[in-house]
Amino acid sequence: MKLSLPPQERPNRVYPPGTPGLHGLVSVVTGVVVVCALYFGREVLIPITLSVLLSFLLAPLVQALRRLRMGQLPSIFIAVLFALATLLAVGGLIGAQLVQLAGDLPQYQVAIEQKIETVQEKTVGRADSLMTRAAATLQRVAPTRPPPPRPTGRAARNAPAVPTPVEVHEPSPTPLQLAQRALSPAIAPIETTFIVLVVTIFILLQREDLRDRLISLFGSRDLHRTTTAINDAAGRLSRYFVAQLGVNLGAGGTIAIGLAIIGVPGALLFGVIAALLRFVPYIGIWIAALLAVFLAAAIQPQWTMAVYTLILFIVVDVVAGQIAEPYLYGHRSGLSPLAVVVAAIFWSWLWGPIGLVLSTPLTLCVVTLGRYADRLNFLTVLLGDQPALSPAQNFYQRLLADDPHEAIVQAERLLREMSLIDYYDEVALEGLKLARNDAMRGVLMPEQLSRINDALVDIVENLEVVDGVPDRLSRTEPAESAGSASASASADLSERHDGHTSARLQAHQETDKTSVLCVPGRGAFDEVTTAIAVQLLARHGLASMMATHSGYRSARADEPNFRDAPIICIVSLDAPDSPPYLRNMLRRTREWRPRATVIVAVGDGPSERGAETGATGASHSVPTFRAMIEECRTAASLQYTRQSAHTAGAVIGATGTGAGAGAGAD
């Protein structure tokens, strides 16, 4: 008989993924071109981007006005006028507060000078005294040089004359030049604001038309995916802006009220600054806190006001960031914390302060689109908050890293949300399939296979005492009166039939009397997979036992333990490939045990569902551990029912014989 080669010496059946080709190079070049276009075209792209994002912010207000039976054009103009009025009000408030604070600064001049002097004495003064003493020490140690001799006589007469200083005075600027100098810093923001508002109006007016054009341009071949992507991105951005605006207004109002209670001047100004700077991720609110703390420390001789101000900002930021935002956004906003920081650096490099403020919404939009566009999917993987690896991939990766402890920790975490059988089916089994593919490709060395199997044994043994959430396949306790009617031989015929029916209804509760023999295949991880099957069968009330592959073949299933098992479960990850050794094993099992129910797990193996192999059942192929347990329990129930029927028939025959003999005697 020809023996098969070990798994690591078999020819490769599973090939690795292809290497990157021209498509990857084109993607890199396209990304570089897009970044260059964003950088060099920022003068045009910044107003357009602000208009698009402002339209997302005003879209809910426009929809609310439309629901109030208002026309499209009036709703848009009212929303835009509301935004303009808000911007003017905020700008006017900041200007008025700055003027008031500048007028009040002379009142705090003494305290500010004292604080500055104290800080200078503690820092600069000490450093200056140290430097002075060090310089004096160096002068005492270093030799002194005589001063150069002054020129006399002819040398003094030939010395160059000292140049006469010349001063250049510019003419006084005209009133027009003065006005131009004063208004030039404000012209650019006013111009940008006007452009943004005009473009926003046209975007809101032609919102549906622009959506249709984008669909036609980027995804007319797959309307469902493109429409879903656009709706998802628009919905996420609208929710983000509205929720972020609400949180920032609440935080700014709380800070303004708190600073007013503490006594910090310009409390309303710092509240507005905190609300605006909070759009800058992570560091925005602390810039406002730094300004407020410095002012509070400067206007009071003590440090009490500064400490209270710092505590106020800390409490507000913790409440807003850890309670309000998770409640409004959910526990996941769509971006990882590292992605938020990297996006802030990238967009601030491209577009300056405006890019810093817009970094989070712009990155959120790109990540959302990457979930539907294959070429942008790498951005979703890098910047999104979804796990980069599936639980099964993470399970196998921990095995490759020789870290079974982390795999056990992952299992305990997942078992808080799923049952043990679901964990074995969805995580462990899928991870074992990945490991089996790598073993078939020949990339796992023998010592690495040994380490992975040892780690798998540790994981399975650790899960023997761990329970997940309740599962519908949980074991049912047998009833107290199971089979009581059929046990009485002196009852009449109807009672015996009732007892037989009761025994059939409670057949599933008697499955612990049925033995299941689990036999592993010849694969690299079949023994561990069989150990999992034995553990699950024992947990669900079946008397399971495990044989080795070589022991089962050499014993020819003639050992008492093998011969008494009415159910034989062959467990192998090679079942989907239907290898010759597994087909031979199944054929010999049918020859040795023609009356046993044979189940092939886990995978769509060489089964003949529905083909009669004996008087008790057929061979079955099951793809999961759950299906294996269901098949075993069904076969055990059928076995128990047949035994009960055979016993009841024997009792009925014996009773009939006795009755006939009695009648003849009479």
State the Cα–Cα distance between residues 339 and 383, nearest whole angstrom. Answer: 5
pLDDT surpasses 70 at 416: yes
Instruction: Give the mean model confidence (pLDDT) for residues 31-48.
Output: 87
Please state the rounded mean pLDDT for residues 608-615. Answer: 38
pLDDT in tens, 403-412: 888 888 888 8
pLDDT score recorded for residue 105? 67
The pLDDT of residue 330 is 52
pLDDT above 70 (res 495):
no
Domain ranges of the chain: 27-52+58-105, 391-465, 493-655
Task: Please tell me the pTM assigned to this model.
Answer: 0.61
Q: What is the mean pLDDT of residues 596-604?
A: 78
pLDDT bracket for residue 642 (50, 70, 90): low
* Helix boundaries (H) for 105-125: 109-120
Residues found in the chain: 666
- Predicted confidence at residue 620, as pLDDT, reads 73
- For residues 493-519, give the mean pLDDT: 52
pLDDT cut 90: percent of the chain above it: 2
pLDDT for position 146: 62
Can you give the pLDDT at residue 365?
78
Instruction: From 369, 51, 358, 72, select the one nearest 215 (Cα to Cα).
Output: 369
| Arithmetic mean of pLDDT, 132-152 | 66
Contact 432, 529 (CB under 8 A): yes
pLDDT of 87 reads 82
What is the band of 126 on the pLDDT scale with cuts at 50, 70, 90? low
Average pLDDT over residues 407-424: 88
Question: Residue 8 is encoded by which pair of tokens?
Answer: 């690591």
Query: What residues contact residue 624 under an 8 Å CB cut-off, 6+ apart?
Result: 425, 429, 602
Query: Which stretch of 269-273, 422-426, 647-651 has the lowest confidence by average pLDDT?
Result: 647-651
User: pLDDT tier at 583 (50, 70, 90 boundaries)?
Assistant: confident
The reported pLDDT for the residue numbered 494 is: 38
Q: Is the peptide bond before 602 cis (omega within 30 degrees of 0)?
A: yes
pLDDT at 511: 46
Q: pLDDT confidence of 97, banded at 50, 70, 90?
A: confident
Confidence at 660, pLDDT banded by 50, 70, 90: very low
Q: What is the pLDDT of residue 497?
A: 39
pLDDT recorded at residue 6:
44
493-655 has the same fold as 391-465: no
Instruction: Give the C-alpha separation, 118 to 297, whole Å.
Output: 12
Spatial separation of the C-alpha atoms in residues 225 and 235, rounded to whole Å: 15
Across the chain, mean pLDDT equals: 74
Task: Provide mean pLDDT across the span 79-97.
Answer: 84
Residue 93 has pLDDT above 50, yes or no: yes
State the pLDDT at residue 144.
60
Tell me the two tokens of residue 565.
């098992």
pLDDT of residue 483: 35
Helix (H) or strand (E) holding 517: strand 515-520
For 303-339, what is each residue's pLDDT tens digit?
788 888 999 999 998 888 777 776 666 545 567 777 8
CA dihedral 623, 627, 628, 632 (to 10 degrees): -150
Architecture in CATH for domain 493-655:
3-Layer(aba) Sandwich (3.40)
For domain 391-465, say whether CATH 3.20.20 is its number.
Answer: no
Q: Is beta strand 567-571 parallel, antiparallel or unpaired with respect to 543-546?
A: unpaired
Does pLDDT of 657 surpass 80? no
Side chain identity, residue 396: Y
Least confident of 14-23, 167-176, 656-665: 656-665
Nearest in space to 521 (alpha carbons), one of 456, 439, 586, 595: 586
pLDDT in the model for residue 42: 86
Residue with the larger pLDDT of the pair 345 and 379: 345
- The mean pLDDT of 273-281, rounded to a whole number, is 82
More confident residue, 151 or 251: 251
Most confident listed range (3-12, 55-64, 235-244, 467-476): 55-64
What is d(CA 274, CA 67) in angstroms, rounded to the nearest whole number?
Answer: 34
Whether 1 has a pLDDT exceeding 50, the answer reads no
Assess whether pLDDT exceeds 80 at residue 154.
no
Residue bearing the bigger pLDDT, 592 or 399: 399
State pLDDT tens for residues 444-483. 888 888 899 888 998 888 888 887 777 766 544 333 333 3
What percent of the chain has a predicted confidence (pLDDT) above 70? 70
